[in-house]
Amino acid sequence: MARFALGRGEFGLIAALRRAAGRARGPWRVAIGDDAAVLRVPAGSELVTTVDALVEDVHFRFATTDARSLGRKALAVNLSDLGAMGATPVGCLLALGVPRHAAGARLDGFLAGLLAAARASRCPLVGGDTVASPVFFASVTAFGVAPRGRALLRSGARPGDRVLVTGTLGASALGLAWLESGRGGAAHARAFVRRHRVPRPPFGLGARLARRGDVTAAIDVSDGLVQDLGHVARESGVAIDVDVARVPLPAGAARVAAQLGLDALASALHGGEDYELAFCARRTAPSAAELSRKLGVPIREIGRVRRGRGVRLLRDGKVVQIPGSGWDHFKAPAARAEE
Amino acid sequence: MARFALGRGEFGLIAALRRAAGRARGPWRVAIGDDAAVLRVPAGSELVTTVDALVEDVHFRFATTDARSLGRKALAVNLSDLGAMGATPVGCLLALGVPRHAAGARLDGFLAGLLAAARASRCPLVGGDTVASPVFFASVTAFGVAPRGRALLRSGARPGDRVLVTGTLGASALGLAWLESGRGGAAHARAFVRRHRVPRPPFGLGARLARRGDVTAAIDVSDGLVQDLGHVARESGVAIDVDVARVPLPAGAARVAAQLGLDALASALHGGEDYELAFCARRTAPSAAELSRKLGVPIREIGRVRRGRGVRLLRDGKVVQIPGSGWDHFKAPAARAEE
């Protein structure tokens, strides 16, 4: 490890990363500059760790995103996973593949974005491996801590629990579709494009939910709401009913979706990359409105956990089918475009 | 995370990985199947973590290695880093990029190799992210634990310390050169090729050295002995003298090197990818022969730490120049071949 060595002579980069790591507060005893990083996990805490990879022309294209946004996103998607476990971020490692032609401005932009996100979320970069690669890829491993035995799992939902979700859903999928359609920077679509380029997980919320004691399960909405709630249902051995009329859509979604020939609700249910938090809470927990006020984050109740299997979509109490599929890692839009 | 989902219907793979994770002994409370993995770091221990990426056509080519060997190597290079910190492995995460055409036998072979290495080293795979990618790449994050404050750093070497190295050096570089030369499977070169394909770090040794108290610094020999000792010298603020006559060469190295028009000693000094352990020990530590006997690993004393900067090569007490350069991540052999 500790190979932030892009050929000889690039010690400026290593030095910059070291300064970033050196400034980092937190429990790290050794960061960039050794074979590995050393972390003191505070007593009474557990380590929570996750990895996510973003690959050029599969998860993103430089035609539709800039390197700096990508750097921020590479960390954000991992912070989203940590939040879904109820963990507080403490640091990250980066494995970065960089094509020769991208070793200049693109690399600098990516690192600037990542380091800015790391500072903002108090999740310092503590090491990594930067390698030459035919395509640009970034694999971030993030570390967090959670009070012992209090991490939020996918497996804790019980019949009778309420199902809640933060923010709004579908903006990222619509933003991506807008970019892919080549429609350019229309003002009313800008917020959607931004949501796609740099997701904004509800930082810090997961850890606060974990401390409550009445939140039973959580997952980040990365593969699409229905697919992700399906993971919770399967891991918990329960069924989940979603009232589609309650699913929160972003302002202006209907207009953007219509222009793209898409359905805003289908994008919200199946679109993916929202990086909002879906969670289950006991019946005795405060209402969504009350939680929302207490925690300073928009929260909506969208369904119930019951005995059974799978996820059902309901409208006015009747089962409905709303077509669309969650994120399939081998059918990314960029890849699809080649076919 | 927890996206071992290569499209729908590949639950066989997820199930296999879950079984592997479920069987894993160790301090993991949640492994594959949630947003993140949860680790209980034992009291009195620190977490040690490292990441290394291997990229197709940069670090390896499927023309000269098989997927199973690659899977073993992807973990081994990380275990080598953990060992160099004096840590005992506890688990790993995998970010894997797989081209569509490789999603069958090649993926299976890679995972079989990785899981076999994980079992052998008690370093279970606890999660990951498998994604489509134009090239095959594997980024492994490994986790280990070390007694609090006892991790072996690069920065601990002091003037007067002895410099030691395990095993022999140069076999991997000669094995790679043999493969690249297209000479095929001659019996006398087989051991060199094997060393290149699947490195064998001295598993468990680093943790035992860390417990001794008279080992002051360590590094794994991955970029070439001279370059890696240079890292120790720089981080420790010292100079290192290496007696080149003492550098341990593998049996048969002279013959293989001569056939390739290479120099066995230069390969040992600069070749890289040996994944042996170089370490510094106080003058009062037992002799190399004694350490070797006690620890059951070949160990040779090859030099001394002194005041100053940089690494000097000596023969009969006189400074010599032995050309060759350590591993340059942007001039990998496979990439060089294109130029």
What is the model's pLDDT at position B18?
62
**Pairwise pLDDT comparison (A325 vs A255), residue with the higher score:** A255
pTM of this structure: 0.86
Q: What is the Cα–Cα distance from A302 to A84, expressed in whole angstroms?
A: 18
**B145 Rama class: left (phi>0) / alpha (psi -120 to 50) / beta:** beta
CB contact under 8 A, A139 and B43: no
Q: Can you tell me the mean pLDDT for A218-240?
A: 96
CB contact under 8 A, B82 and A331: no
Residue A52: is its pLDDT beyond 80?
A: yes
- In this complex, the residue of B33, B56, B95 whose CB is nearest that of residue A53 is B95
Residue A289: is its pLDDT beyond 90?
A: yes
Q: What is the Cα–Cα distance from A286 to B189, expressed in whole angstroms?
A: 71
> Considering just the CA atoms, what is the radius of gyration of chain A in Å?
20
- In this complex, the residue of A47, A85, A135 whose CB is nearest that of residue B134 is A135
CB contact under 8 A, B85 and A36: yes
> Considering just the CA atoms, what is the radius of gyration of chain B in Å?
20
* Positive or negative torsion for Cα A324, A329, A334, A338: negative
Q: Are B290 and B214 in contact (CB under 8 A)?
A: no
All domains in chain B, ordered by first residue: 11-147 (3.30.1330.10), 162-324 (3.90.650.10)
- In this complex, the residue of A57, A219, A330 whose CB is nearest that of residue B35 is A219
Shortest distance between the Cα of A177 and any Cα of chain B, in A, equals 20
CB contact under 8 A, A59 and B93: no
Q: What is the Cα–Cα distance from B37 to B3, expressed in whole angstroms?
A: 12
| Residue of chain B minimizing CA distance to A55 | B133
Shortest distance between the Cα of B2 and any Cα of chain A, in A, equals 8
Chain CA centroid to CA B124, Å? 17
Inter-chain contacts counted by CB atoms under 8 A, chains A and B: 240
CB contact under 8 A, B141 and A97: no
- CA-based diameter of chain A, in Å? 66
How does pLDDT run across B251-305, given as a tens digit for each residue? 999 999 999 999 999 999 999 899 999 999 999 999 999 999 999 999 999 999 9
Q: Are strands B125-132 and B88-98 parallel, antiparallel or unpaired?
A: parallel
Residue B14: is its pLDDT beyond 80?
A: no
- Give A-chain residues touching B75 at CB under 8 angstroms: none
Transcribe A112-140 into DSSP letters: HHHHHHHHHTT--EEEEEEEE-SS-EEEE
The torsion of the CA quartet A123, A128, A131, A136, rounded to 10 degrees, works out to: -20
Shortest distance between the Cα of B187 and any Cα of chain A, in A, equals 33
Written as six digits, the tokens of A216 are 């039973």
Residue B338: is its pLDDT beyond 70?
A: no
What is the model's pLDDT at position A28?
76
- In this complex, the residue of B1, B48, B223 whose CB is nearest that of residue A51 is B1
Q: What are phi and psi of B326, to 5 degrees?
A: -70, 180
- Give A-chain residues touching B205 at CB under 8 angstroms: none
Residue A85: is its pLDDT beyond 70?
A: yes
CB contact under 8 A, B97 and A53: yes
- In this complex, the residue of B2, B58, B132 whose CB is nearest that of residue A58 is B132
CB contact under 8 A, A35 and B41: no
What is the model's pLDDT at position B311?
97
Highest-confidence range of A117-121, B298-302, B323-327, by mean pLDDT? B298-302
CB contact under 8 A, A95 and B51: yes
What is the model's pLDDT at position A325?
53
Q: What is the Cα–Cα distance from B271 to A253, expressed in whole angstroms?
A: 58
CB contact under 8 A, A59 and B129: no
- In this complex, the residue of B127, B132, B235 whose CB is nearest that of residue A330 is B132
| Residue of chain A minimizing CA distance to B34 | A154
Exposure class string for B306-326: b at 16+ Cβ within 10 A, else e? eeeeebbbbeeeeeeebebeb
Residue type at position A176: L
Residue written as token pair 């790679």: B176
Q: What is the Cα–Cα distance from B301 to B292, expressed in whole angstroms?
A: 10
What is the model's pLDDT at position B31?
66
CB contact under 8 A, A137 and B335: no
**Which residues, in sequence order, are CB contacts of A261 under 8 Å at separation 6+?**
none
What is the model's pLDDT at position A257?
96
- In this complex, the residue of A78, A133, A141 whose CB is nearest that of residue B58 is A133
Q: What is the Cα–Cα distance from A35 to B220, expressed in whole angstroms?
A: 8
CB contact under 8 A, A133 and B335: no
A1 exposure class (CB count in 10 Å sphere: 0-12, 13-18, 19+):
buried
Q: Can you tell me the mean pLDDT for A72-88?
A: 95
Q: What 3-state class would DSSP assign to B30?
A: strand
Identify the band that residue A13 occupies on the pLDDT scale cut at 50, 70 and 90. low
Identify the band that residue B5 occupies on the pLDDT scale cut at 50, 70 and 90. very low
Q: What is the Cα–Cα distance from B309 to B281, expressed in whole angstroms?
A: 18
End-to-end CA distance of chain B: 38
How does pLDDT run across B223-258, given as a tens digit for each residue? 899 999 999 999 999 999 999 999 999 999 999 999
**Which residues, in sequence order, are CB contacts of A123 under 8 Å at separation 6+?**
A75, A79, A89, A90, A91, A92, A117, A142
Identify the band that residue B327 occupies on the pLDDT scale cut at 50, 70 and 90. very low
Q: What 3-state class would DSSP assign to B33?
A: coil
CB contact under 8 A, B133 and A129: no
Residue A280: is its pLDDT beyond 50?
A: yes
- How far apart, in Å, are the Cα atoms of B115 and each of A2, A12, A126, B107, B123? 25, 38, 27, 12, 9
User: In this predicted complex, what is the ipTM?
Assistant: 0.83
**Which residues, in sequence order, are CB contacts of B13 under 8 Å at separation 6+?**
B4, B6, B111
Where would I find the beta strands (DSSP E) of chain A? Answer: 28-30, 37-39, 45-55, 88-98, 125-132, 137-147, 162-166, 215-221, 239-243, 276-281, 299-306, 310-315, 318-319
